Amino acid sequence: MLIHQLPYHHDSSLLFERIAHQPWAMLLDSGQMLDTQTGKPGSQYGRYDMMVAEPFITLVTKCENTEITQHNQVSTSAENPFELLKKTLSQFPAPQTNFPFTGGTFPFAGGALGYFSYDLGRRLEKLPNLAQDDVQLPEMMIGIYDWAIVVDHREKTSHLVSHGFCESTKANWDGLCTRFGISCRVSPHQAKANENPFLVTSAVQSNLEEPAYKRAFAKIKAYITAGDCYQVNLAQRFTATVDGDAWQMYKQLRKTSPAPFMAYMQIPLTNDEQFQVLSNSPERFIQVSGKHVETRPIKGTRPRSSNATQDLVYSNELLNSTKDKAENVMIVDLLRNDLSKSCEVGSVQVNKLFQLQSFANVHHLVSIVVGKLKLDKTAIDVLRDSFPGGSITGAPKLRAMQIIEELEPHRRGVYCGAIGYIGFDGNMDTNIAIRTATICKNLLSFYAGGGIVADSDASKEYAETLDKAFSLITIIKLFTRL
């Protein structure tokens, strides 16, 4: 195990800035930000930030095939992407790295990191082909990384870590230590970024304006009445044309609306083009630590208010909402069933129901479901058996996904998939990729949606999608030049 301590800084973006514009550079961001009034970390969210670059293997899934690149050699496989990833990681077994050391723990010291798009679910379920795939991003983009930087905000430490599976890591270790070892300051990449400002060059458009949204809503209510389903997550997509350096938008997003499962990804689309993923997700999908499995579904939303009294009214209204609690329980039951496929019999339990969590622009109800991994199962098995997350499909899952394909005009892509890591040691943590934007070929796109149940109100549900989109729309306004 290679370990090198780096200077700690509360703002990990300053460290990531040194690699932010490299192909396959990725940041998993805990949303830890400095309170400008007190000078102390002001976010109550996550503990760790992780950043990687220079993967020695990449897996890119598009339609029926996955392209694997290793040592500059490219091969193609039609095997199920989850199984392919599991086989790839099995070549590099490592002991648990979530062990204590002087100054903290390492939740990740190399392994797989990337995204699994919502549409990867087509490799698991038979779905109609109705929604338009206009952006055409790969369904899975995963890098296998031999080194990582782990920032621990609780212990105020930063470390460069590696298992040393790749000979080039060992050969370049001193250079990596020097590269990241200097104190955080403006880097050449940052200076270059400042010369290429990020701009939004069009108005934001929706693919499901209120009249169309309400027509789709009515169809879902009819399906529920007919007994086809109990809940369907319906989302609208927002788009705008943009230009410049997307990293600047992400830095503003993490300042304005921090969340515990944020991410930034700089990913090659072709030899000449790259696209970016910007996520400020509040929702954990699945975490596996040793044999412990955990998921934290979100269902139930109210807006925040700058008026403290009104904000309390909104939070109490959510906590006492029979409708939102029923919506939450439906998804908890679905996830209990999904986890049971890979967890020991009787081990799946609901630790908490309807816990209030408040974020920059919304209040949410969050539940916690846990289980114990079966001896013959891995974290990737749990991910596959639960994918895509029930909180963003509905129940029953397959029928809800079929209805989503029928009623949403465009493929979801990364939205409502998962972003996260699976370590060489078998540990995993992933988000539900909500509050997530992609920027590809100068098109910025992001979604906002919510679960529709029998007693949902169309106007309220539509307003909820706007509440969820508020942070990204606010950021867009800051960069708009029309």
Positions annotated as catalytic residues are: 283, 299
320-327: long-range pairs with CB below 8 Å, 24+? 323/453, 323/455, 323/456, 324/299, 324/300, 324/365, 325/300, 325/353, 325/354, 325/365, 326/453, 327/231, 327/299, 327/300, 327/451, 327/453
Q: Would you report the helix, strand and coil content of the chain in percent, each value rounded to 5?
A: 30, 35, 35
8 Å CB contact between 448 and 469 = yes
Of 457, 451, 460, 467, residue with least CA distance to 328: 451
Whole-angstrom CA distances from 235 to 185, 212, 461, 466 are 40, 11, 10, 10
232 near 403, Cβ under 8 Å?
A: yes
Q: 336 is written with which tokens?
A: 């209990």
| Alpha-carbon span 390 to 396, nearest angstrom | 9
Query: Cα angle at 170 between 73 and 181, to 5 degrees?
Result: 115
Q: How far is CA 396 from CA 18, 82, 98, 335, 373, in A?
A: 45, 22, 36, 11, 24
Distance of CA 166 to the CA centre of its chain: 27
Q: Which residues contact 416 (CB under 8 A, 6 or more apart)?
A: 118, 233, 235, 388, 389, 392, 393, 432, 433, 434, 447, 449
Quote the CA–CA distance of 261 and 338 in Å, as a whole number.
22
Cβ proximity of 229 and 399 under 8 Å = yes
- Cβ count within 10 A of residue 424: 25
d(CA 6, CA 9): 9
**Cα 202 versus chain centre, distance:** 26
CB neighbours (10 Å) of residue 348? 21
CB 411 within 8 A of CB 207: no
User: How far is residue 435's CA from residue 451's CA, in Å, rounded to a whole number?
Assistant: 15
